[in-house]
Amino acid sequence: MSVSAALSVSEAFSRRHELTVVDVRTPAEFASGHLPDAVNVPLDRIGRALPELREASAHRPLLVVCASGARAQNAVATLASHGVEASLLTGGTTAWAAGGHALDHPPGRPRAVWAMERQVRFTAGSLVLLGLALGFLVHPAFGLLSAGIAAGLVFSALSNTCGMAVVLGRLPFNRRGKAPLRSSSPSSRS
Predicted local confidence at residue 33, as pLDDT? 86
CA distance 128 to 176: 28
Predicted local confidence at residue 4, as pLDDT? 52
Predicted local confidence at residue 190, as pLDDT? 35
Predicted local confidence at residue 163, as pLDDT? 82
Predicted local confidence at residue 178, as pLDDT? 41
Catalytic annotation, residues:
66
CA distance 68 to 65: 8
DSSP alpha helix (H) spans, the chain: 9-14, 27-31, 50-59, 70-81, 92-98, 116-137, 143-159, 163-169, 172-175
Distances in whole angstroms, Cα of residue 17 to Cα of each of 37, 62, 75 = 9, 11, 21
Q: What is the mean pLDDT of each run of 10 residues along the chain (190 residues)?
A: 73 92 89 90 89 92 90 90 92 91 77 75 92 94 93 86 81 60 38
Predicted local confidence at residue 175, as pLDDT? 67
Predicted local confidence at residue 169, as pLDDT? 78
